[in-house]
Amino acid sequence: MSFPIIEPVEQAHRPRRGLRARPRSAGNFRQHCNLVYAEAAGVGLTLDVFEPTAESNGRAIVDVVSGGWHSDRVRLNEHIGLGAIDAFCAEGFTVFAVAPGSASHFTALEMVTHVHAAIRYVRAQATTWQIAPAPLGLCGVSAGGHLAALTALSPEASDPKARQSWFQHGTEVSAVGLFFPPTDFLDYGGNLFPFERGGEFSVPRLLFADGLAGKDDAAMRDAARKISPLHQIRTAHPPFFLTHATEDVVVPYDQSTRYVDALTAAGVEATLHTHDGPGHPWSTIAETCAEMATWFKERLHAATG
């Protein structure tokens, strides 16, 4: 296979006009499109690779791309426009932007399984991309941040004797950066997350593959707890960097404050960078992206040592 693959494949189920807008970029990367990292239900799961145009630092960040628990190229273009990939590549990181699937087809825990598969793929292909398989960073924005958090809290061990090469790699990460992530579906603005509400967040399949039909309140709450990062914290987790706006009207600000408090109480390093005012995201978020990139460089360097 020759690189780079700069032309994405046809998007069969998205309005074409949604793909016409080109995301703004500082040009800090070379983009390789549509590499298949796993298969689920007969459908290929893909990622894009962003190689730094500057000198590589030999490290990688896995970036979970999901908006409203939906993944496609429109979401990826929005994600590029955020500026995080540019910021990471400016620091020499190779970024693997992972599409974990969408809530119309997969539950939250199934999508987390896909992120684990992506991490194994990255490590198995480390030589191809001239990166070290460890330490590895993990990042996500909004719904992608939620899935990244769950993945980081549930690392899967390697199996050195596995026949398939990818299972010979574990999925532990050494640093996690999250932008305004949902973390507690039992207390989402004082209520159970509105799984049945219409609009972008009408995603009952986040909980159950067959939806909410026939599920009582106890079953819903048990399932919601299992996909709430705040309720999955144990000990010995990697350090976290979170950023959130105080007046975020999509994901309540306290989803980050309470999560950081819970991590800290468990003895986990966690930092929250607050933006005062509205935004999901906000106009100056590129500055925060640069701060997170520096933080990743410091933490992954420390993990190496």
Do the Cβ atoms of 29 and 95 come closer than 8 Å?
yes
Q: Which stretches of the chain score pLDDT less than 70?
A: 1-22, 196-202, 305
Per-residue pLDDT at 40: 94
pLDDT at 166: 84
Q: Which pLDDT does position 117 carry in this prediction?
A: 97
**Would you state the pLDDT for residue 198?**
47
Per-residue pLDDT tens for 238-256?
A: 999 999 999 999 999 999 9
Return the pLDDT at 27: 87
Domain boundaries, the chain: 16-304
Please indicate, yes or no, whether the overall pTM of this predicted structure exceeds 0.85. yes
Query: What per-residue confidence (pLDDT) applies to 248?
Result: 96
CATH code at 16-304: 3.40.50.1820
pLDDT per residue over 56-71, tens digit each?
A: 999 999 999 999 999 9
